[in-house]
Amino acid sequence: MIRYVLPAILLAAALPAQAQSPDTTPLIERAKIFGNPSKSGGRLSPDGKWLSWIAPRDGVLNVWVAPASDPSQAKPLTEEKSRPIRTSFWSPDSKVLMFIQDKGGDENFLLYGVDVASGKQTNYTPFEKTRVKMVKISTKIKDRILIGINNRDPKWHDVHSLDLATGKLTLVQQNDGYGGFLADDMLNLRLAEKPRGDGGSSFYRVADGKVEAKPVVEVGLDDSQTTGPRGFTTDGKTLYWIDSRGRDTAALMAQDVASGKFTMVAQDKRADITDGLFDTRTGKVQAYEAEYLQHEYLPLSADLKADLAFLKKNIKGQFYIGSRTDADDKWLVSVDQVSAPASTWLYERKSKRLTRLYVVRPELEGAPLAQMYPQEIKSRDGLTLVSYLTLPKSVNAAGTGKPSQPVPMVLLVHGGPWARDSYGYNGYHQWLANRGYAVLSVNYRGSTGFGKGFISAGDLQWGRKMHDDLLDAVQWAVKNGITTSDKVAIMGGSYGGYATLAGMAFTPTTFACGVDIVGPSNLFTLLQTIPPYWEAGKQQFYKRMGDPTTDEGKALLKERSPLNFAENIQRPLLIGQGANDPRVNVKESDQIVAAMAAKNIPVTYVLFPDEGHGFARPVNNIAFNAVTENFLGKCLGGRAEPIGGAVKASTAQIKHGAEFAPGLQEAIQ
């Protein structure tokens, strides 16, 4: 998932700014952090002849292409006028650049392709209320790919073969209740996954277009987030799995297809193995990826070991290997130094040569960006919460990660909740630290990456033990002199927005204020309005959140819904929402604002009519963050760039409470 009258007692909750030395760190313009990147999303064509990326065209992110031998000869291939293109990828024959796009954040993503030679753009899935799903792009079959389309039944994606030259769609497999299909490199469907009533999954062989009746692999609820097939080798004889069955952290396993036997390839007892690097010609695994405190590659083959050692020696910071040519002679490598903008490099394997292609945000080069510090925080019941702390440079001059004096803090909660925070450059951390706040992001129980036990510890714990973890992290920060208990704000999107509402309603005096972005306020109505194409995961939602079809589940969901405790909210709250959000319906924000307004409790509500689950258009994101930093400035006493014309330049509608956000009324007049 799954981002009236003010009572006197609430005015008293706006605490005075903490006395401290003036922060002389230059203020970074928020547009430099949240505006369009100069370039991002670089891809090499499979044949190595072309280089593509996403960059602004007339102020909107579009797809560009250039000869790999001369990137200066770039030209735009698309001309989106309002909604940014956020991801693109190459056809296997290197003739077409493909991308997905929705309308106004509704997440009904359609598939488009642009012929590199002619510039002709084709909508491959011209259907209404349809969401495309990639099934398989082969390295062997170049003229077609497999995609899933839910235009027949919105709950299930039928598998089609897409002829890239003609755009013709041919039905391969009608889907009557399967969560997904796995194909081999010859584009033959080989495996089907079906959701179970207990929240787990059954996997079935597919042969000659028919799904066998008896499952070959069973996965229970506890393993459902950490077990699944990764892909076949090119010859189709080996199937790799990420698999936590029989262990806590997910291991990389190789299954011999003929015998069904599983062999462990690699395991990390600290963290789940999340993926691997696979030979582009054979499909055999060459390295695996694990992330505990930081991301790392661990080599499994001699040839890749030398490459990874070279990159580690010659790159400052974390690196991520992106696209690789079919010949595997060239790679694109993304570099993340945390306190510098990310960059993308061309790595030529034979000559061991690295060439910088671009910096994602060159306007941030030389800016006073802050370092991030991984932390291991103990919860009250003994779990280890991997967390990430960023401090204002003004109190971390020595670079030790320990502030010279306490500062106000923003607890920044990730969404999901079945996701995780990671080490690396984070625009929100940089922005808030530059404004004078410590920023703490916590992998609370239920977060992924730390084993199935850690995920399952969050089952049925929304607003309870998951929230306790956040409170424990705040206490850790106070105890370690990072902040003071009266100067902590909570902020987040999606589940992080829920955590914000829960913090304000369930522990109303813990946080000085809160910022909720697309957060659900009523868990019962949230589960009633999830998109139809989430049908495969519905039982897992019920088992991990609460089952709305049972009396016990209804009672639990009611008890954990901040809406039902809105009258308890005492501190200032800012809410941002996209009107077209298919995950967290706009009513989730509407109803808690209405409940607070009915009780004369101050809340500011900003709605964007052209957004969904989060704010994709930079002009809208900048506008909401302009309101946010001035809101936090009043609440915590940090610095703020004036709102200026940011809100007027966006589509923001101030639905309620402009008077409670400093500078907002003036900005919209």
Q: Please check the confidence at residue 19 and state whether its pLDDT lies above 70.
A: no
> pLDDT confidence of 22, banded at 50, 70, 90?
confident
Over the chain, what is the mean pLDDT?
Answer: 95
The β-bridge partners of 330 are 348
Q: Please check the confidence at residue 5 and state whether its pLDDT lies above 70.
A: no
Torsion angle defined by CA atoms of residues 391, 392, 393 and 394, in that order, rounded to the nearest 10 degrees: -130
| Residue 284 to residue 264: CA distance in whole angstroms | 14
- Token code pair at residue 502: 């829960």
Residue 658: CB partners within 8 Å, gap ≥ 6?
604, 664, 665, 668
| Residue 547 to residue 101: CA distance in whole angstroms | 33
pLDDT tens-digit series, residues 152-211: 999 999 999 999 999 999 999 999 999 999 999 999 999 999 999 999 999 999 998 899
pLDDT tens-digit series, residues 529-553: 999 999 999 999 999 999 999 999 9
| Res 107: pLDDT | 96
Q: Please check the confidence at residue 8 and state whether its pLDDT lies above 70.
A: no
Q: Please check the confidence at residue 378 and state whether its pLDDT lies above 70.
A: yes
| Res 21: pLDDT | 60
Classify burial at 624, counting beta carbons within 10 Å of its beta carbon; exposed 0-12, middle 13-18, buried 19 or more.
buried
pLDDT tens-digit series, residues 272-316: 999 999 999 999 999 999 999 999 999 999 989 999 999 999 999
Could you tell me where the beta strands, DSSP code E, fall in 96-227? 96-101, 110-115, 121-123, 132-136, 144-153, 156-163, 169-173, 180-183, 189-195, 201-207, 210-211, 217-219
Do 143 and 50 form a contact (C-beta atoms < 8 A)? no
| Res 651: pLDDT | 98
| Residue 337 to residue 82: CA distance in whole angstroms | 31
| Residue 539 to residue 472: CA distance in whole angstroms | 30
pTM of the entire predicted model: 0.95
Strand 180-183 relative to strand 169-173: parallel, antiparallel, unpaired?
unpaired
Do 264 and 251 form a contact (C-beta atoms < 8 A)? yes
> pLDDT confidence of 220, banded at 50, 70, 90?
very high
Q: Please check the confidence at residue 356 and state whether its pLDDT lies above 80.
A: yes
Do 498 and 561 form a contact (C-beta atoms < 8 A)? no
The mean pLDDT of 460-485, rounded to a whole number, is 98
Residue 204: CB partners within 8 Å, gap ≥ 6?
191, 192, 193, 194, 211, 212, 213, 214, 215, 216
| Residue 274 to residue 287: CA distance in whole angstroms | 11
Closest alpha carbon to 574 in 633, 644, 641: 633
> pLDDT confidence of 1, banded at 50, 70, 90?
very low
Find where tokens 């319906």 sit.
Answer: 585
The mean pLDDT of 404-412, rounded to a whole number, is 98
Q: Is the dihedral of CA 521, 526, 529, 533 positive or negative?
A: positive
Amino acid identity of 602?
P
Q: Please check the confidence at residue 396 and state whether its pLDDT lies above 90.
A: yes
Residue 88: CB partners within 8 Å, gap ≥ 6?
41, 43, 52, 54, 63, 97, 98, 99
pLDDT tens-digit series, residues 595-632: 999 999 999 999 999 999 999 999 999 999 999 999 99
Find where tokens 């605490």 sit.
Answer: 15
Angstrom CA distances, 51 to 61, 94, 144, 649, stand at 16, 10, 21, 33
| Res 605: pLDDT | 98
| Residue 136 to residue 406: CA distance in whole angstroms | 52
- Token code pair at residue 349: 């394997």
Q: Please check the confidence at residue 110 and state whether its pLDDT lies above 50.
A: yes
Torsion angle defined by CA atoms of residues 58, 64, 68 and 74, in that order, rounded to the nearest 10 degrees: -30
Q: DSSP labels for 108-127?
A: --EEEEEETTT--EEES---
Q: Please check the confidence at residue 9 and state whether its pLDDT lies above 50.
A: no
Phi, psi (deg, nearest 5) at residue 540: -70, -40
| Res 23: pLDDT | 86
Residue 19: CB partners within 8 Å, gap ≥ 6?
none
Angle at 328 between CA 327 and CA 331, to 5 degrees: 130
Residues with catalytic roles: 494, 581, 613
Amino acid identity of 314?
N
Do 187 and 410 form a contact (C-beta atoms < 8 A)? no
